[in-house]
């Protein structure tokens, strides 16, 4: 089997084919893992975005938590997480 039985002229093909197979498997697996990681990052960014109800200029408004400003009054409902530092009124 391989170089021992077929000689160097033909035996190198088995070793080379194994090496090529390993390189292909590692490349495909790494590519799949990278794609999964990128998709997970996008989903995590979407899931972490939260909307809150605030009182701004005497009107109740639903805005993204990233858009909160100093002076906004967040309306906190049962079970809701307070997303920023502030005072409870």
The residue written with tokens 């090529």 in the block is 20
Chain mean pLDDT for the chain: 87
Kindly report, residue by residue over 4-45, the tens digit of the pLDDT: 777 777 777 888 899 999 999 999 999 999 999 999 999 888
| Nearest by Cα to 53 from 42, 66, 64 | 64
- In this structure, the answer to whether residues 35 and 59 fall within a common structural domain is no
One domain for residues 43 and 71? no
- Residues of the chain with pLDDT > 70, as a percent, come to 94
pLDDT for 40: 94
Q: How far is CA 70 from CA 74, 78, 85, in A?
A: 11, 23, 10
- Work out how many domains the chain is built from and give that number: 2
Query: 22-31, 34-43, 49-58, 78-87: which has the minimum mean pLDDT?
Result: 78-87
Range(s) of the domain holding residue 68? 50-89
Would the pTM count as exceeding 0.75?
no
């Amino acid at each position: 089997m391989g170089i021992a039985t077929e000689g160097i002229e033909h035996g190198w093909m088995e070793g080379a084919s194994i090496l090529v197979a390993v390189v292909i498997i590692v490349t495909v697996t790494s590519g799949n893992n990278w794609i999964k990681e990128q998709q997970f990052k996008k989903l995590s960014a979407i899931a972490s975005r939260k909307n809150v109800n605030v009182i701004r200029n005497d009107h109740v408004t639903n805005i993204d938590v990233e858009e909160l400003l100093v002076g906004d009054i967040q309306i906190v409902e049962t079970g809701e997480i307070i997303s920023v530092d502030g005072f409870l009124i």
